[in-house]
Structure 1
Amino acid sequence: MRGFRAGLVLIAVLSVAFGGVAAASSLPSWRVLPTGTTAQFRGLSAVSERVAWVSGTQGTVLRTVDGGRNWTSAGPPATGKLEFRDIEAFDADHAVVLSIGPGADSRVYRTDDGGKNWRQTFSNPDSAAFYDCLAFFDPWRGLAMSDPVNGKFRVQATFDGGRSWRQVPDDAFPPAEAGEAGFAASGQCIATSGPFDAWLATGGGPHARVLHSGDGGRHWAASVTPLPSSASAGVFAVAFRTPWQGVAIGGDYANPTAPGPAVAVSRDSGRSWRTPPEHPAGYRSGLAWRGGTVLAVGPGGSDLSRDGGRHWVSFDTGSFDTVDCTWFGACWASGVKGRVAKLVS
């Protein structure tokens, strides 16, 4: 998005989401892993306990294959002026990275050898488009989201793992509201769950909305969330545990300590949203499910909910922009000044 650029006391027994081990009143923590860079990492892809990729400013892409003890520079060559705001990795060798910006600054690259070589597979041909984030259903099918062009959101689709892209027809989308766009804050303004369901998170206009597709991105419908919306406020991240159960989070990045509420939950695939009884304090930009637990991060700290987003507790005050968890429970977070961390239960 152009405007964005420039406590609950825990029960004694941990839920299955944190290993199912008895530990009274226990909270997880982040273990910060030095990366040797000061780049800001808004792009993050957790592959396993040992493998993760991050992407960010100054064309920076890093990869670790030893749990974060060592990081290798793995970005495309001659891209130092680009901002890689999102990255999706399939394993230690295969990844797709998105740079943001108007016109040709919005690009997609793919590597099949751990970042030794990259091929540019998409260059935005429209000066009015601005791509914010991307997500994949599986290693072959994915979507990349742009701010609206001529009153409709623009999405590119791939069916070969990001090696080629084609535009979803404009008539697949409802009209965008005045000022509405996506926030390129955490690589999570688009999310998928299962083989067909996808969601786009928006703000900037009169309403903070979520657009849902139940057919792999061919058709979309919009719903209004109770989150605040303005030029600097809206839904910054959306995540669904199943095609039915999801959480949307955000706030106002220009007023990050505003009390909110800036979280909403859905139990019907995003058709309707409601404010939960409790919510994190202030702006949050990143969101991820770890089993039945939801993690949220932002410049003001990290929070978790063990009941699907209804009640929240803070567990860290450090700044992170995004968070990602694997199916097997390995969670990573990244943010400003090269900060990358792993979750320790």
Structure 2
Amino acid sequence: MTLRTLAAALCGTALALAGTATTPARAAGKAPAWESRDSGTDARFRGLAAVSRSTAWAAGTKGTVLLTRNGGRTWRNVSPPGAAALEFRDVEAFDARRAVVLAIGEGEASRVFRTDDGGTTWTETFRNADPKAFYDCLTFFDARHGIALGDPVDGRFRILATGDGGRSWRVLPAAGMPAALPGEAAFAASGQCVVTEGRAGGRDAWIATGGAASSRVLHSADRGRTWTAVDAPVPAGDPARGVFGLAFRDRAHGLAVGGDYRAGQPSERAAAASGDGGATWTTAARPPGGYRSGVAWLPRSRTTALAVGPTGSDVTTDGGRTWRGFDAGSYDTVDCAPDGGCWAAGEKGRTARLAARPER
């Protein structure tokens, strides 16, 4: 989705929801809880990379990139020099030293930077020269292979690819991409509009779309060279509606969240689940309490995941069939590390780590 459209609505004041959005989860076992961390900044973070329970990266407005190595007790500002005018919307980290961040926007505002020394130095590895292109998010299959997603150019979504860990990028041929629907785009809301499966080294990727007559999920089994598209049962028919975030724990099991990002607008069908690699989707019988922009599976769990948005957080313990609210705070993105450490981030410098792991 273009910066002009997205920024106008997503920077509004979050509204508290009554009912399920503020009702603690009552699944058997512990109820999840966010433990707030002071980031020391007022930037809005939509990019988040959880490395472990102790280490995480966050990327956001005003060219801000932060890194913590002590569980969020302190965050170090490791922003690229001269980037204050850029809007970082995604960060993918391989460890505490190596990370890749994406700045969004039209033309040269879309850029990619990489660091190999924990943000002490950065190298700009891509700057968009096409005034028609607008990049939204990126993801990696492993430490070498990754892709970045751009909104449609000449009627098809654009894919950048890297085979050297983000040190160089190339535009993939458009022939393998199905035609975009009128008005269709991706949302640069949480860094999850293009994702890979939970297992490192795979070849599968998925794209979330909205803004058109129907929401769609696109799937690639060859690292972004060819794609197929299916409709998703998430609110559509308006530029403000669609699938905003995806998460796949393996090649088969995926979650989609979204809705209508405008404050106060209903999002009755804000989540769906797939058990066949995104070929078909089923609406949650009890969806989250409102629009949600980010979603993440808990590692080593086949059934538990978290969803976040400006009006609250929700948990599912049955693979996305039902969701229950457990926090009313505003978060835009969520990510979980292989060791089970889960993090969230959002507006006004908000960062948090999951204090209690939900259990069945």
Please list, as runs of the form range in 1=range in 2, the aligned pairs for 1:135-284 lying within 5 A after superposition: 135-193=139-197, 194=199, 195-229=202-236, 230-284=238-292
Instruction: Report SS of the residue matched to 2:105.
Output: coil
Instruction: Report SS of the residue matched to 1:4.
Output: helix
Alignment deviations for residues 13-36 of structure 1 (CA, whole Å, 9 cap, x no partner): x3xxxxxxxxxxx31100100011
One-letter amino acid of the structure 2 residue matched with residue 192 of structure 1: T
Distance 1:78 1:174 in 2: 38
1:113 pairs with 2:117 = yes
Instruction: Report SS of the residue matched to 1:272.
Output: coil
Q: Give the alignment's TM-score, normalised by structure 1.
A: 0.94
Q: Residues 183 and 211 of structure 2 are in contact (CA less than 8 Å); yes or no, is this contact kept in structure 1? A: yes
Pick 1 or 2: higher relative contact order, CA cutoff 8 A, min separation 6.
2
Change (3 A) 1:256 1:97: farther
Q: Residues 256 and 282 of structure 1 are in contact (CA less than 8 Å); yes or no, is this contact kept in structure 2? A: no
What residue in structure 2 maps to residue 4 of structure 1?
6
Instruction: Report SS of the residue matched to 1:333.
Output: strand
Displacement after TM superposition at 1:131 (Å): 0.4
1:122 pairs with 2:130 = no
Gaps of 5+ in 1: 15-25
One-letter amino acid of the structure 2 residue matched with residue 180 of structure 1: E
What residue in structure 1 maps to residue 306 of structure 2?
295
Alignment equivalent of 2:78, drawn from 48, 67, 74? 74
Displacement after TM superposition at 1:255 (Å): 4.3
Displacement after TM superposition at 1:282 (Å): 1.0
Distance 1:168 1:310 in 2: 36
Distance 2:243 2:319 in 1: 17
One-letter amino acid of the structure 1 residue matched with residue 72 of structure 2: G
One-letter amino acid of the structure 2 residue matched with residue 238 of structure 1: L
- Give the % identical residues: 54
Q: Residues 103 and 125 of structure 1 are in contact (CA less than 8 Å); yes or no, is this contact kept in structure 2? A: yes
Alignment deviations for residues 96-121 of structure 1 (CA, whole Å, 9 cap, x no partner): 00000000000000000000100000
Displacement after TM superposition at 1:262 (Å): 1.3
Distance 2:92 2:177 in 1: 24
Gaps of 5+ in 2: 9-19
1:338 pairs with 2:349 = yes
Instruction: Report SS of the residue matched to 2:282.
Output: coil
One-letter amino acid of the structure 2 residue matched with residue 282 of structure 1: G
1:313 pairs with 2:350 = no
Q: Residues 257 and 281 of structure 1 are in contact (CA less than 8 Å); yes or no, is this contact kept in structure 2? A: no
Aligned residues: 333
Alignment deviations for residues 242-272 of structure 1 (CA, whole Å, 9 cap, x no partner): 1100011100011455141111111111111
Alignment equivalent of 2:337, drawn from 322, 326, 338? 326
Q: Residues 125 and 167 of structure 2 are in contact (CA less than 8 Å); yes or no, is this contact kept in structure 1? A: yes
Change (3 A) 1:316 1:150: same
1:84 pairs with 2:95 = no
Displacement after TM superposition at 1:281 (Å): 1.5
Distance 1:269 1:259 in 2: 24
What residue in structure 2 maps to residue 65 of structure 1?
69
Q: Residues 245 and 257 of structure 2 are in contact (CA less than 8 Å); yes or no, is this contact kept in structure 1? A: yes
Instruction: Report SS of the residue matched to 2:62.
Output: helix
Distance 2:141 2:278 in 1: 17
Displacement after TM superposition at 1:70 (Å): 1.0
Q: Residues 57 and 93 of structure 2 are in contact (CA less than 8 Å); yes or no, is this contact kept in structure 1? A: yes
1:53 pairs with 2:85 = no
Distance 1:299 1:159 in 2: 35
